[in-house]
Amino acid sequence: MKKMFKLMILFSLLVTLLSGCSNGGNIAGDSGLDNTGDSNNVIVSKEGGGEVILEEEDSTTTKLMAQAADSYYFSHWEGDLSGTNNPEYIDNTAPREVTAVFLSQEENNPDGTDANGVFKLINSWGENWGAFNDGSYYISYEAAIANNLDLYLIAPRDQYQPKALAVFNIEAASRKDVEIKFETADGSKQLYPASAPYDYDGSMNNIPVNQKGGASAFPENNIALDISSLLPINGEITLTVTNSGSSDIYLNNWQLEEYSAYPGTPVQTYSSNLSSELIAAGNSKSFTMNINIETSVSAQADSSSGLDSYVRDYTEADWRSRENKHLRAQSYHNDSFGRGLKELSAEEMKTALESGIVKTIDAGALAGDQIKVAGEASLDYSASEYFPPVGNQGSEGSCASWSTVYYMLGFYQARDQGWDLSAAAVTGVDQSQLMSPDFIYQLINGGQDGGSYYTDNLMMLANLGAASWAEMPADDSEYLSWGSEEAWRTAAGHRVDYPIYYLQINNYTDIKAVKDLLDQGYLLSAAIDSTQYNSNGIWTVDNYSNPYLDHANTVVGYDDSYQNSVEEISIK
């Protein structure tokens, strides 16, 4: 039977019932501490008006539920828990101390703007889509909280220039059966990432993508892979090709190119002088060159963003909360518009958090740090000259790639390079200055138009980069090609940084954190239910609920003054 421990609010009762407690908050059970798994091991305090109820979830886990008093709201946990999830879960096999922070609604929102605000979203169904005929949609802060809106972001890699490329040609009937790995004494790089510096202590973690390129053949053209992270190299570099399929494959030459400026002419080319090297079915084969490249990428290119200081340890609720989310299993389309977002299940999210694929943003630390830059009541990056024209994915299930590659990476690259993308349509700007969603999507769609994962898109953007629209225009009638050699070479110069960041909106502390992220210049991608779009153009708690997550939109701004009609919306 589950034990219920209701935390006491009045200080006088605490003194009477729990002598020796020092911080005077709501405290549950500080007697009889042991390591056998008991909610008595969990000591809970509170700041502000509210209480916490403890419930034994199982023999080793306690569930904590924060309940705010009138005129207060639950903000976040501190101590042995962090984050804004409510309820939350904690291991109770050892003594734990947790503080529940409740904030006054009036003191933290004196003008009432938070309760009336909206986030602006950009869709990928064309520049004339939606109630405002500009591809935009809105979600109120209240609706974002009520539906625990999922958000992903990744940091730009500004002023990045590759210093070394590996160029190779593979003859193989099935992409999914081939592993490509370059390795030196100090590190390795793979076509599909299997390890990357997601942890800040420099350790490497296994982070396989969920989907690869399916059973189609490798392209006939060369593939170019940025291996700058392996520099400097003074000695051997080894290419290992693993063939897990049932047919023989061939390596038709490989070479390394060293650059002082990119794009440009390599200052040195190292050729293997190989020709049609057989790698038999079910086997792997290694090829080695001795080279000397003293150059290394700049410290900036490998550095993490300022968001590192706002990352927290993941909690059990970070993945448990997904058990209650409705996730669509495959892409589909109607009205000629594709969907295709594949969200991680609870178990997949747990693995992603454990292995470091995803890092959770500590909204309490971010919102409480007063780092807000603009200090304005509204912000709209879709009005910026650096924001790409609203595009159209057509019937293809590539929405996650459109959001992360075309909009997020495209905005970062234009801002970094000073490109002016202010045009009404894709055809109105330099095609070499737009990022290709298809370049990434067709690497990670499993060889079918079945949608893709946020994590796969962002991992491949960090590992490979993205080609421009000029080399690989979006085409919803074709979903298998991998792009020309020039597309691969261009992609090396358009990469993002590690790691992937994640934030779920649970309360107004998260709302403030998202606004701070936008103020700092980040875009975010939101998982939404496209079947609930309506003619009003705005989601509220009255018309958006119980979503089935099937589509990705890009968060580009906010307005603290809620407007409830098409004519009154102020951020356009």
Q: Note down pLDDT in tens along the chain; length 572 residues.
A: 444 443 333 333 333 333 333 333 333 333 333 344 688 999 999 999 999 999 999 999 999 999 999 999 999 999 999 999 999 999 999 999 999 999 998 776 655 556 679 999 999 999 999 999 999 999 999 999 999 999 999 999 999 999 999 999 999 999 999 999 999 999 999 999 865 554 444 455 555 788 889 999 999 999 999 999 999 999 999 999 999 999 999 999 999 999 999 999 999 999 999 989 999 999 999 999 999 998 876 544 544 568 888 999 999 999 888 888 877 655 555 667 888 999 888 888 998 888 888 999 999 888 766 544 444 689 999 999 999 999 999 999 999 999 999 999 999 999 999 999 999 999 999 999 999 999 999 999 999 999 999 999 999 999 999 999 999 999 999 999 999 999 999 999 999 998 899 999 999 999 999 999 999 999 999 999 999 999 999 999 999 999 999 999 999 999 998 665 455 555 54
Both 268 and 308 in a single domain? no
Tokens 């894709």 label which residue? 426
User: How much is the CA Rg of the chain, to the nearest whole Å?
Assistant: 25
- Amino acid 461 reads L
Q: Is 566 a domain residue?
A: no
The residue among 281, 296, 311 that closes a domain is 296
Report how far residue 524's alpha carbon sits from residue 530's, in angstroms, rounded to the nearest whole number: 17
Q: Is 11 a domain residue?
A: yes
Query: String of b and e for 18-27 (b: at least 16 CB within 10 Å)?
Result: eeeeeeebbb
- Which DSSP letter does residue 494 get? S
Both 329 and 284 in a single domain? no
Tell me how crowded residue 203 is: count the other CB atoms within 10 A of its CB.
10
Percent helix, strand, coil in the chain, to 5, is 20, 30, 45
Both 443 and 554 in a single domain? yes
Report how far residue 98's alpha carbon sits from residue 434's, in angstroms, rounded to the nearest whole number: 48
Report how far residue 507's alpha carbon sits from residue 145's, in angstroms, rounded to the nearest whole number: 5
pTM of the model: 0.89
Report how far residue 513's alpha carbon sits from residue 368's, in angstroms, rounded to the nearest whole number: 8
The residue among 231, 265, 296 that closes a domain is 296
Residue 266, domain extent: 164-296
CATH code for the domain of 187: 2.60.60
DSSP conformation letters of 253-320: EEEEEE-SSSSS--SEEEE----SEEE-TT-EEEEEEEEEE-----HHHH---GGGGGEE---HHHHH
Partners of 4 in beta bridges = 55
- From residue 277, alpha-carbon distances to 67, 255, 283 in Å are 66, 14, 13
Both 83 and 219 in a single domain? no
Both 319 and 277 in a single domain? no
Q: Please say whether the beta carbons of 285 and 279 come within 8 A.
A: yes
Q: Is 146 a domain residue?
A: no
What residues contact 495, with CB distance under 8 A and at least 6 apart? 157, 160, 226, 461, 462, 463, 464, 465
